[in-house]
Amino acid sequence: MANKDELRISQGRLEDAWRRTLPIVMNKTDQSQVMSDGADDKALRIHIKTAGHQMYAFDFKVTYEDSREIRVELVDVERDGKTIDERPDTVQQLIEDYTRHLHECAQQLHDLTKA
């Protein structure tokens, strides 16, 4: 039986909406890139660069579980172009902040993504 609350928007429209909305909910000085996930039409790849001298970059996979709920997975954390351990408190705090921003973006797009 099909899920009645599944995502019913094209990946291209979803990607464009996230590209427009994510900078509004993030810190103004951070940068983000939104890309379609070629292997999953209900997922996006999000790349976020922190502002300032820390030079952190985070890669997330955002998957729509249904028209409202997303699952956020951390894929990679880099500092100055090199993969680093994500366990230090400073990095964990940034991951939590960006995860919250990703959920805020999905919530702002709810009117577009709801069935």
Question: Which tokens belong to 24?
Answer: 């509004």
What are the structural domain ranges in the chain?
Answer: 11-109
Task: Quote the CA–CA distance of 115 and 100 in Å, as a whole number.
Answer: 23
For residue 82, the 8-state DSSP code is: E
Class of domain 11-109: alpha beta
Please give the pLDDT value at position 54: 83
> Per residue in 35-54, pLDDT tens?
999 999 999 999 999 988 78
Cα dihedral sign for 111, 36, 47, 86?
A: positive
> Per residue in 49-90, pLDDT tens?
998 878 999 999 999 999 989 999 999 999 999 999 999 999
